[in-house]
Amino acid sequence: MATSDLTDYIAGLPKAELHVHHVGSAGPEAVARLAARHPDSPVPTDPALLADYFRFTDFAHFIEVYVSVVDLIRDATDIHDLTYDVGVDLARQNVRYAEVTLTPYTSVIRGIAPEAYCEAVEAARVEVERDTGTVLRWCFDIPGELGIPAAEGTLDIALNQRPDGLISFGLGGPEIGVPREQFAPHFAAARAAGLHSAPHAGETTGPQTIRDAIEHLGAQRIGHGIAAAADPQLMEYLVEHDIALEVCPTSNVCTGAAPSLDAHPLPTLVAAGVPISINSDDPPMFSTTLLHEYAVAADLLGLDRAGITDLARAAVRQSFLDAPGRAALLAEIDAYAL
């Protein structure tokens, strides 16, 4: 089949996105607008220059650039508008359900009250569903580089605000120098309150970080987790316990977590039977979209329409959507695939 046929097929396919960051989804126009409002920031105000600004030399540089964009989001209106834009952009790609990772702590320490933050994202969530039919849910993640105070702050916002869309608890940022186990009490409290556990692990460090995330944080899904490909025993464990990896191929190449797309471990993981979903992470920063990530995965795995459809089904099954919601979305996919 011609590639353009697959591109059209992917575009129309109803999809679930399980690993996409709120701030990291801000498009160049939105970032440039924010930069113009806050001229003390190093972020360029010209969308054309942002492509260069978003060219990362390594993972540490990526985090530095990411934080400079976080610094641009300073009030509840910024939060609301960004969230609404992210939702509409997902809807345009026919993403019908998305678990969006929010990092409320980084906004709260910049002076946005937790109540105002949660009201802003909830208002945007309701508007996105009203205007597009796309359902959004939230993962509140700890910015790991800010340590225990960030974990306590994130947990406090999650449990005391408990916005309707909140479904899971996560951990992002660098892995080197940020041991997973230090956050065990925070994840235990979040899980006791009914939130799912979906930390990042095994993106920039080895398989042990994934083991730590499972053992100490009760991980039900792993953000990235590509390091598992180097550890057959761990892959077996993931299969046996149905712990899925949220794989974001282009992101891994941009941050240096994988040396190239050709050398990406996705085929190894799939060959071992590890449950995976395909996701976009911080799409504009990596000049990608979820549609493009599906095309990349199809290429890496040699998939036809049926294989691509199975990728979409897998994401729905691995999602934290309730059973009726999952069944409805799977039925939509089946109807499309006929």
Q: Which residues are catalytic?
A: 203
Question: Smallest distance from the beta carbon of 200 to Zn ion, in angstroms?
Answer: 6
How is residue 267 written in tokens?
A: 């085929």
**How buried is residue 176: exposed, middle or buried, by Cβ count under 10 Å (0-12/13-18/19+)?**
exposed
Is-contact 223 252, C-beta < 8 A? no
Pairing mode of beta strands 276-278, 221-224: unpaired
**Terminal Cα distance for the chain, rounded:** 17
The DSSP element (H or E) to which 98 belongs, if any, is strand 95-102
The residue (of 197 and 309) whose beta carbon lies closer to Zn ion is: 197
Does an H or E element contain 246, and which?
strand 244-247
Whose Cβ is closer to Zn ion: residue 19's or residue 186's? Answer: 19
Provide DSSP, 18-83.
EEEETGGG--HHHHHHHHHH-TTSSS-SSHHHHHHHT--SSHHHHHHHHHHHHTT--SHHHHHHHH
The least distance separating Zn ion from the CB of residue 214, rounded to whole angstroms, comes to: 18
Taking the complex as a whole, the smallest distance from the CB of residue 19 to Zn ion amounts, in Å, to: 6
Q: Compute the least distance from the CB of residue 52 to Zn ion, in Å.
A: 22
Binding mask 266-295 for Zn ion (x = CB under 5 A): ---------------x--------------
- Closer to Zn ion by CB, 276 or 303: give it: 276
Backbone phi and psi for residue 71, each to the nearest 5 degrees, phi listed first: -65, -20
- Residue 261 or residue 330: which is nearer to Zn ion going by CB? 261
The residue at minimum Cβ distance from Zn ion is 281
Which residue lies nearer to Zn ion by CB, 122 or 281? 281
Radius of gyration for the alpha carbons in the chain, expressed in angstroms and rounded: 19
Using CB under 5 A, count the residues that bind Zn ion. 1
Residue (144 or 275) nearer to Zn ion, CB = 144
Q: How far is the CB of 21 from Zn ion (least distance, A)?
A: 6
Lay out the sheet containing 135-143: strands in order across. 15-21, 95-102, 135-143, 166-172, 196-197
Residue 41 CB, shortest distance to Zn ion, in Å, is 22
- Residues near Zn ion (CB under 5 A): 281
